[in-house]
């Protein structure tokens, strides 16, 4: 993509995001403004910067910083699904890394699941959320629950347009294989379960 077409794409994205933002409320002229201002709004550029910073912190194993960054912006944009998704992934990856917080923060699969479920509630069409929710179920020992979540991907993206759909399909095959082994009476060791995250890495 040359620089002209890329610039046009970015411009179009900015226009679409601007159109999706809630309109400012028009207050009657004869009434004073409300004492408590509306929720602070974050620009598209600032949102991207925050996401990139928190995601980079997480990849570097700086989970406390990533969690604090994401938590701070969640208070500003509680209805933005991606911040909930990112919070869930941070907790998931911290648990898998057996991370011990120096600041006393606690990371758990329960928080990961609750955050990802909130992201799903706000945006049920993002494939990465399905993949990460399924991974949490996997690490909770619920293979059938993971499988049920992954089955929904084909309904959301039947034409396989989302790149995460291919990862979801691979993850599904691994879960099916694990379920078949369980039905055959084989024991699934923890080391076996760790193969699945390769197909379900967090979304950037």
Give tens-digit pLDDT for 151-179.
999 899 988 888 889 888 888 898 888 88
d(CA 200, CA 86): 14
Q: What is the pLDDT of residues 12-67, one digit of tens each?
A: 444 444 544 444 445 445 544 433 333 456 677 888 888 899 999 999 999 999 99
Torsion of CA 63, 66, 67, 69, to 10 degrees: 160
- The domain in which residue 188 lies consists of 124-204
4 assigned to some structural domain: no
pTM: 0.72
> Which of 122, 156, 180 corresponds to the end of one domain?
122
92 assigned to some structural domain: yes
């Amino acid at each position: 993509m040359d620089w002209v077409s890329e610039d046009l794409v970015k411009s179009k994205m900015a226009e679409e995001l601007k159109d999706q933002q809630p309109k400012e409320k028009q207050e009657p002229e004869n009434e004073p403004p409300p004492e408590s201002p509306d929720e602070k709004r974050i620009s598209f550029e600032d949102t991207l910067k925050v996401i990139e910073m928190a995601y980079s912190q997480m990849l570097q194993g700086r989970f406390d910083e990533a969690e604090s960054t994401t938590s701070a912006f969640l208070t500003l944009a509680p209805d933005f699904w991606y911040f909930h998704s990112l919070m869930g992934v941070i907790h998931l990856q911290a648990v898998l890394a057996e991370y011990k917080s120096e600041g006393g923060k606690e990371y758990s699969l329960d928080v990961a699941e609750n955050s990802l479920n909130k992201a799903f509630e706000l945006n049920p069409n993002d494939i990465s959320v399905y993949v990460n929710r399924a991974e949490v179920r996997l690490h909770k020992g619920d293979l059938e629950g993971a499988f049920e979540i992954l089955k929904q991907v084909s309904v959301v993206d039947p034409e396989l347009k989302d790149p995460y759909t291919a990862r979801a399909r691979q993850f599904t095959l691994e879960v099916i294989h694990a379920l078949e082994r369980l039905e055959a009476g084989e024991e699934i060791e923890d080391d076996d379960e760790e193969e699945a995250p390769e197909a379900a890495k967090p979304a950037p």
